[in-house]
Chain A
Amino acid sequence: MSKQSLLRLAQADWFGPLVVTLAAIAIIRGFSPDFLSPYNIQTLLIALAINALIAFSQMIIIAIGQMNLSVGAIGGLAAIAFAGMMQVWHLPVALAAILSLLIGIFCGALNGALISATGISAFVITLATLAIYKGINLGITQAQPFYGIAASVKHFGNAALFGLIPMLAVPTAIIAVALWFLLTRLPIGRFILAVGGNEHAASLSGISVRSVVILAHAISGFLAACAGMLLVARLQLGQPSIGDDWLILSFAAPVIGGAVLSGGHVSVVTTLLGVAMVALITQALVVFSIDPFLVQVVLGLLILAAVGINRLRETHLIARRA
């Protein structure tokens, strides 16, 4: 019985990534005792908090079998809107935050509406909106950062709960739980996965594919905007270049966590583990004093390895079922 439950555990999709993550932690800890110091844990958690939102923003689009190249552009636009509204219009923090989130949701929903209304591939539509959103960002800021961040936001970016858990991780934790609940427990989450699994079947079973696609893109925009605003709190300024380097990262974590790019199969837990693995490997490069320039190379290799393994697992599953 226990052997059987162990077997079932080993077959769960989060088991492999979890083992790899724990092994990576153990190995890095073995080489560098400072690795699990409170300060280092805090740095790791901050990176994790922001990167997880970026990854979720892409994950929800991968779930419906599409892609969103404009994740970084939406995050950057929301970030400079958040900072700009505080500096130029002197809006209260809460109002600026809500308006920036609405901008993110609007940008995402616009992506979804354009894709579902025209039937043109998500790749080209989001490439076009990437240029549009990024251009608006640069047009507004003239490529200059906004420095006038409210003191409470700066404090939020530096504060830590119990001296260990950074405040920045709190919104991410809440969002992760909410997203898990949405995808696994709510009908709308099942609709999203159903559309990703087989759009035609989903539409035949009475799901409005169009509204599901728009909703998924709106959620993606919301998450990207959250990530952008957390980054403003972390950097203490609204930089126009926020989001420029999110593209690879946003795909790496879900794919490493085992998301199937053709849609229908994503998981909040494995995506989180994918983010953790990326953060650990980046950290390991520092610990082993390997050139930080190589982070890009490692990320690329990880994506290739992950899609290769997923592919093998898929063919293996199909062979077993047959």
Chain B
Amino acid sequence: MPLSYDTSSAAALPAATSALRSGLPRSRIFISNEFGLILLIVIFALVFGTMTHGFTSHFNLFTLGRNTAVNIMIGLSMMTVIVTGGLNLAVGAIGVCAAMLCGYALQVLHLPWPIALLLALALGAALGAVNGFAVVRTGLHSFIITLATMSIFYGVMIFLTRAEAYRNIPFGFVHFGSMKVLGDVSPLLLLALAVALALAALYRGSVLGREMLATGARREAAELSGIRTGRIITLCHMLSGALATVAALMLVARNGAAIPSMAGQLGQDWLLPAFLAPVLGGAVLNGGKAPVFGTCLGAALVSMLTSGLLLMQLGAFWVQTFLGLLLLLAMFLDKARRSYLAYRNLA
């Protein structure tokens, strides 16, 4: 590369890249994650639709949409941190903590439900900020920090609530969980899609979103180009906490109660869906990529597989094994796709 180049070669460069782009789209669509996921969703929908009774029933489609909404929020919650190259083991713990605060505000303090929701969101974001602050300040990997805070958050929550559920949730709030709009669609699913659109706009269109992606792709470079990476990472963790809270509040609306065990011991039950959706959607664990659309499709595939496997009566206990195998398979395929792209010099 010569140090100085004339205008003709500078003009040739964009032309070359546009030629490269126009030549590629067809092959690129077929090897993209999103295309693969849509294909899988269609195939499994056909398989489950023909092989099981009731997969396409109104009731099943409605619950499927509702579960998809929760899984989308859990997946996006993890994705916002994966973007920075970190991870957040405390998504479940944060979600449950915030949901329990919401239950407390509704049942004990008798606050109107919109205020209770805001309180819960604020707590979720605050707990996320604690994670982010600890990660940035200590310079340690977010794995060990969020492993510790997951234990702390969950322990404090169990200590304060005495492991008891809040069941006195006003109808106005619970109604969201059972309502149907536009036929068989749950409003929760629409909310999840709206949040996903907002996130996509954040990463595509806003300076803040670009700064998050830059920080994740190469932190030193981002720092040198004037991005305050510490603040960005803390913000990503806050976003993750808030999204985990939305997921937990959806579960509260669905169950009609805020239950301490709704994400399992220490919130561990959320970890598998939380990683499955972004990894299926094409997130890179080293950071720098935010496949919002892919994460939604991944969450939809996970929800559909769970529902279909349960309807096929293979035994509810084996579903976890299938999801684990799916995660392995997704990673192998992604690895193979990447080597193929590298081989063809496409990426």
Chains A and B belong together in one complex: yes
Give complex CA distance A251, B275 in Å: 20
- A143 — nearest CB in chain B belongs to which residue? B317
| 17 examples of A-B residue contacts, CB within 8 angstroms | A118-B331, A118-B332, A123-B285, A124-B279, A124-B285, A124-B327, A127-B275, A127-B327, A132-B328, A135-B318, A138-B318, A139-B318, A244-B265, A251-B144, A293-B155, A296-B266, A304-B152
The residue that A139 contacts in the complex, of B149, B315, B332, with Cβ under 8 A, is B315
User: Which bracket fits the contact residues of B?
Assistant: 35 or more
Most buried by A among B139, B148, B265, B327: B148
Whole-angstrom CA separation of A301 from B272 in the bound complex:
25
Q: When chains A and B are docked, how far (Å) is the Cα of A304 from the Cα of B138?
A: 10
Across the A-B interface, give the 7 residue pairs with the lowest CB-CB distance, nearest first.
A135-B321, A296-B155, A131-B324, A300-B151, A135-B320, A300-B152, A297-B155
Contact B150 A124 (CB under 8 A): no
- The reply on A38 being an interface residue by CB < 8 A is no
Would B138 and A261 count as touching, CB distance under 8 A?
no
Contact indicator per residue, chain A 236-266, by CB within 8 Å of chain B (1) or not (0):
0000000011011001000100000100000
Pair A261/B141 contact, Cβ less than 8 Å: yes
Closest B residue to A241 by beta carbon equals B265
* Distance A120 CA – B275 CA, assembled complex (angstroms): 14
- Is B163 part of the contact surface with A, judged by Cβ < 8 Å? yes
Query: Which positions 294-312 of chain A face chain B at CB distance < 8 Å?
Result: 294-301, 303-304, 307-308, 311
Please report the C-alpha to C-alpha distance between residue A311 and residue B324 in the assembled complex, in whole angstroms. 34
Using A120-B331, A303-B147 as known contacts, say yes or no to A132 and B317 having CB atoms under 8 A apart: no
* New A-B contacts (6) at CB < 8 Å, excluding given A142-B315, A296-B155, A297-B159: A135-B318, A245-B265, A261-B144, A293-B163, A296-B266, A300-B148
Is there contact, CB below 8 Å, between A142 and B317?
yes
Residues of A within 8 A of B266 (CB): 245, 247-248, 296
Query: Is residue A23 contacting chain B, with contact meaning CB distance below 8 A?
Result: no
- The answer to whether A303 touches B158 (Cβ under 8 A) is no
Residues in A whose Cβ lies below 8 Å from that of B148: 300-301, 303-304, 307
Q: Which residues of B contact A118 (CB under 8 A)?
A: 331-332, 335
Give CA–CA (A297, B162) in the complex, Å. Answer: 14
Q: Name the residue on A nearest B151 (C-beta).
A: A300
Please report which residues of chain B, range 322-339, place their CB below 8 angstroms from some CB of chain A when the two chains form the complex.
322-325, 327-328, 331-332, 335
Please give, as numbers and ranges, the residues of chain A lying within 8 Å of B150 by CB-CB distance. 248, 300
Residue from the set B134, B140, B285 with the largest chain A CB neighbour count within 10 Å: B140
Give the shortest distance, in Å, between B150 (CB) and chain A (any CB).
7
Note all chain B residues with C-beta closer than 8 A to A134.
320-321
Given contacts A138-B320, A296-B266, is CB(A123)–CB(B143) below 8 Å? Answer: yes
Bound together, the chains give a CA A282 to CA B247 distance in angstroms of 33
B274-291 toward A: CB 8 Å interface, digit per residue (1/0)? 010001000001000000
Indicate if the CB atoms of A139 and B321 lie closer than 8 Å.
yes
Q: Tell whether, in the assembled complex, residue A131 and residue B158 are in contact, meaning their CB atoms are under 8 Å apart.
A: no
Q: When chains A and B are docked, how far (Å) is the Cα of A299 from the Cα of B139?
A: 21
Residues of B within 8 A of A114 (CB): 328
Encoded as 1 (CB less than 8 Å from any B CB) or 0, chain A from 86 to 122 comes to 0000000000000000000000000000100011110
CA distance A133 to B154 in the complex (A): 25
User: A130 — which chain B residues lie within 8 A by C-beta?
Assistant: 272, 324
**Are B151 and A128 in contact (CB-based, < 8 A)?**
no
Let me know if A297 and B143 touch, CB within 8 A.
Answer: no
The docked-state distance in angstroms from the alpha carbon of A284 to that of B331 is 45
Say yes or no for B194: interface residue by CB 8 A criterion: no
Q: Which residues on the B side are within 8 Å of A245 (C-beta)?
A: 265-266
CA distance A142 to B316 in the complex (A): 9
| Best-surrounded residue of A67, A131, A142, A248 (most CB of chain B within 10 A) | A131
Q: Are A296 and B154 closer than 8 Å at their CB atoms? A: yes
CB pair A131 B155 closer than 8 Å: no
| List of A residues within 8 angstroms of B319 by Cβ | 135
Chain A residue contacts of B111, Cβ below 8 A: none
Bound: A135/B90 CA distance, A: 22
Chain A residue nearest to B275 in the complex (CB): A127
CA separation between A237 and B171, bound complex, in Å?
A: 44
